Structures are given as C-alpha cells and as structure tokens.
Amino acid sequence: MKPTSPLGSLAYHFVLLSLLAVGGANAVIPELHRVAVEQNHWVSNSQFVDLFAIAQAVPGPNVLIVTLIGWHVAGVPGAFVATAAMCAPSCLLTYGVHRAWHRFYQSPVRLLLQRALVPVAVGLVLASGFVLTQAAALDWNYVTISLVTALVAFGTKWNPLWLLGAAAVLGAAGWL
C-alpha cells in the first residue's frame, strides 16, 4: 500500500532509497530519476538535471538533490521530509554498526565485505553518471562537455567549481 499525500509519498520513497544507497547518494541517481520523473512525475526530465546541477553547485553533501526534489514537490516541509527520510534509516544503521565496529574492523568478514561492495558501488555511481549525461544531453555538444569535464576532473586536482563555472559561461553565451 503506497501513501497518496505528497509528504507521505516522499517519505515512503526516500526511506527505501536511503538503504539502497550503497556508495552514497550519487549511486541512487538512476533510481531517483525513475521515482521522481518516470513514476511520480514530480519533476520533468530537464528539471531533474537542473536540480541536480544546483545541488552540485551548492556546498554540502550530495544528498541535497533529495532536499531539492522534496522542496519542489511540497515546499519547505517537503524538503524537510525528503532529507530526513533519506538520512534517517542509514544514519540509524551507521550509529548501530559504529558501536560494534572496533571489534569488527580487523575481521576477515569486513575485508570480504569491502572487496565485494566497492565494485558494486563503482558500477552504481558510473550508472548515475551515464543517466545524468544522457538526461543533460540536448545534443552532442553537451555530451562533449560531460566527457571533457569527466576527463579533467579525473586527471587534475582542480576545484570542480571551475569546471561548472566554465560550462555555465559557455551555456549562457549560447555557444553550446
């Protein structure tokens, strides 16, 4: 049974998403896109990529994309509910596990878990990058921007804000 009110619906979806975010908030972008754009029509495809870009440009954790979607759906209460729902389950889990962690740290089970989960997280984050690139690609120029940004961010230690700024200037000047 799924809740029908906007706040209930936000809470329901983001509580589930919280525990699926293996590899951080950026790992669940495809699922977020599915839930917010395709399933619930909370935002359009282009609004989704715009909101993601805003969340990236503002200082703070990646989870802010969820805050913005909540805000878009139901104003400030929506932002609160979405953020809390996305954080609460994983925070409680972390708090619980943290207490047992010192003994667990040296154990072979942890090493096995780490070796198994890191590649899963890599695959999910890469999928997020793919879905976002596709959603932002109005034509091939935009794909080029995405790929060049990826290469520069991977190969240098420049602050990513410079890259976002350069792309903003190119776009605002109408050169894309």
Partner 1 sequence: MADITVGDTTISPAGAISLRELFAGFFQIAISGFGGVLPWARRMIVEQRAWLNDAEFNEMLSLCQLLPGPNVVNLAICVGARFQGWRGSLVTFGALLVVPFCLVIGAGALYVKYGDLTTVRGAMAGVSAAAAGLVIAMAAKMARSGIDGLRGGFVAAAGFSAVALLRWPIGWVLLGLIPASLILARIFKK
Contact 42/68 with Cβ under 8 angstroms?
no
Give residues 44-103 in contact with partner 1 (rule: CB under 8 A).
Answer: 49-64, 67-68, 71-72, 76, 79, 83, 86-87, 89-91, 93-95, 97-99, 101-102
Number of residues that bind partner 1 (CB under 8 A): 106
3-class SS of residue 7: helix
Smallest separation (angstroms) from partner 1 to the CB of 134: 8
CB-nearer residue toward partner 1: 42 or 142: 142
| Interface pick for partner 1 out of 7, 21, 37, 85 (rule CB under 8 A) | 21
Reading the block at residue 31, the tokens are 């699922």
Contact 73/13 with Cβ under 8 angstroms?
no
| Interface pick for partner 1 out of 11, 28, 36, 81 (rule CB under 8 A) | 28
In this structure, the dihedral spanned by the alpha carbons of residues 115, 18, 93 and 80, taken in order and rounded to 10 degrees, is: 150
CA separation (Å) from 18 to 12, 28, 91? Answer: 10, 9, 9
Q: Token match 């389950």: residue?
A: 89
Q: Which letter does DSSP use for residue 25 in this model? A: G
Asked whether position 5 contacts partner 1 by CB under 8 A, the answer is no
Smallest separation (angstroms) from partner 1 to the CB of 96: 10
Asked whether position 107 contacts partner 1 by CB under 8 A, the answer is no
Binding mask 110-139 for partner 1 (x = CB under 8 A): x-xxxxxxxxxxxxxxxxxxxxxx-xxxx-
CB-nearer residue toward partner 1: 8 or 118: 118
Contact 42/69 with Cβ under 8 angstroms?
yes
Asked whether position 173 contacts partner 1 by CB under 8 A, the answer is yes
